[in-house]
A and B are shown apart, each in its own frame.
Chain A
Amino acid sequence: MLDQLLAPKYVGWLIDGFYVTLAVSALASAAATVLGLLLCLARLAPTRWLAWPALAWLSLFRNTPLLVQLFFWYFGLAALMPQGLLEWLNTPHHWHLAFFGVRWPPFEYVAGFTGLTLFTAAFIAEEFRAGVRGVPPGQAVAARALGLRPWQVWRYVVIPQAFRIALPPLLGQYMNAVKNSSLTMAIGLAELSYASRQVETETFKTFQAFGIATLLYIGTVAVIELAGQWVQRRRPALGAVR
């Protein structure tokens, strides 16, 4: 029975991979939320000089596979960059800021983060747009009547309400980001799926390697789900109050 278990060394690989998965998906989710909000605002802008490019951008990133986007950032962008810049990106760098050191990550981290962020942002922008559409138009009109400037209407009236409406689908997108981060293994990022594959080829204990990785993914998604339910209970969505 005991020899069926994975050696601590391999469990360590999986845990390391899990940390990378958590870090990459958390960073990408945070960046994608900011970028998604900006894209949503551009998409809804009254001038077509903003709205149309935003529409083209969103449909381009939503209608191509993440895997191909990652390949593009990893292989394609590298080929476009000047030789010096690529060398700089590929060599390790250290900076010392006050108390802690910052290490520039290897290029696959940069490409993986970029790809996941841009892909997720396109979906988050659409969730925000649905949220904005869920805010009754009278709200913006009333805010204008109160003498708020257009940017204040957005800042204090529309966006806070739209954010609440968009929160459940937004959390769904964060779950997708965790799941989608598995694709970065294809460009050599040593995250959870990569680690499980590596443990499997090394030990031939397929069931254990994939099983632990699967449980870690399910656990992460379940935690996001529970967090969402907790937030919903504390701050009921607007629709429930009306």
Chain B
Amino acid sequence: MDFSVIADNLSYFLLGAWPHGPLGGAALTLVLSISSALASGALGLVLGVALATTHGPAHQGLVLALGFFRAIPVLMLIFWTYFLLPIVFGFNVPGTGTVVVALSLIGGSYLAHSVYAGIASLPPGQWQAAAALGLRRADALRHVILPQALPIMLPSFLNQWIALIKDSSLAYVIGVGELSFVATQVSNREMVYPTEIFLFVALLYFIICSSLELGAGAIARRYGSAEKQT
């Protein structure tokens, strides 16, 4: 094994062609992950509240639509957004935007169910007590329900975000220069050290994902013990 290929290309792995060209590599992976984490979190919150507050056909329709996004491979959804977004918006959407849209839709539809479960896990007396205090449903949700439900949901949010970081590697298929794309680029150029390159790239992903996983575990333990005390 010869790891000098890593040292020679280190800045390309971490930053891509930046500052002389577009940002890429691990930095772009982080940008993709953080933007789709934020968007999927917001989407999951809105859709989860919608699941919790709708009944009958509207609820069924929403469940079905979310089921669709959970049933198709992320790769297929990236193909779809790559093909449909320019038609919908009427101009060429950059690959980075395409991937963020696809990852947010997938992450959002998984998170919607976590948010729904978090809201449903609270005793119904919370809604009734808020109503008795004269709060409207929206205010009850904002001031009574969500502050209690969010800590319950936090671990599933973090787990979903770990999945997002790993899924951001699929940006490779539409040629976005994030970490896995850069890895294959270097591997194709150098020709001789694929083992070292993919081990190093796996290590980078491992560091990012497992630090988030450790954080998720710590938070779960903290809120888990807080729950037992009360």
Interface residues of A, Cβ cutoff 8 Å to B: 59-60, 62-69, 71-72, 75-80, 175, 178-180, 182-183, 185-186, 193, 196-197, 206-207, 210, 213-214, 217-218, 221-222
Please classify how large the interface on chain B is, using the bins under 10, 10 to 19, 20 to 34, 35 or more. Answer: 35 or more
Tell me whether A68 and B75 are in contact in the complex, defined as CB-CB below 8 angstroms, given that A76-B195, A183-B170, A186-B172 are known contacts. Answer: no
Asked whether, in the complex, the Cβ of A72 is within 8 Å of the Cβ of B170, the reply is: no
Asked whether, in the complex, the Cβ of B206 is within 8 Å of the Cβ of A63, the reply is: yes
Asked if B35 is at the interface of the complex by the 8 Å CB criterion, the answer is no
Q: Mark B176-209, 1 if CB is under 8 A from A, else 0.
A: 0000100110010000111101110110011001
The residue from B168, B172, B184, B195 contacting A80, defined by CB atoms under 8 A apart: B195
Interface residues of A: mostly helix, strand, loop or mixed? helix
Asked whether, in the complex, the Cβ of A217 is within 8 Å of the Cβ of B73, the reply is: yes
Interface residues of B: mostly helix, strand, loop or mixed? helix
Tell me whether A182 and B193 are in contact in the complex, defined as CB-CB below 8 angstroms, given that A63-B206, A63-B209, A76-B199 are known contacts. Answer: no
CA distance A22 to B14 in the complex (A): 37
- Listed from nearest, the 5 A-B pairs whose CB atoms lie closest are A75-B194, A63-B209, A76-B195, A65-B169, A182-B73
B residues less than 8 Å from A182 (CB atoms): 73-76
CA distance A62 to B80 in the complex (A): 27
Asked whether, in the complex, the Cβ of A185 is within 8 Å of the Cβ of B202, the reply is: no
Asked whether, in the complex, the Cβ of B172 is within 8 Å of the Cβ of A66, the reply is: no
CA distance A180 to B75 in the complex (A): 9
B residues less than 8 Å from A179 (CB atoms): 71-74
The residue from A67, A79, A180 contacting B172, defined by CB atoms under 8 A apart: A67
Asked whether, in the complex, the Cβ of B206 is within 8 Å of the Cβ of A79, the reply is: no
Chain B nearest CB from A120 CB (Å) reads 14
Asked if B223 is at the interface of the complex by the 8 Å CB criterion, the answer is no
A residues less than 8 Å from B122 (CB atoms): none
A residues less than 8 Å from B195 (CB atoms): 72, 75-77, 79-80
Asked whether, in the complex, the Cβ of B68 is within 8 Å of the Cβ of A218, the reply is: yes
Asked if B83 is at the interface of the complex by the 8 Å CB criterion, the answer is yes
B residues less than 8 Å from A175 (CB atoms): 71
> Which residue in chain B gives the minimum CB-CB distance to A76?
B195
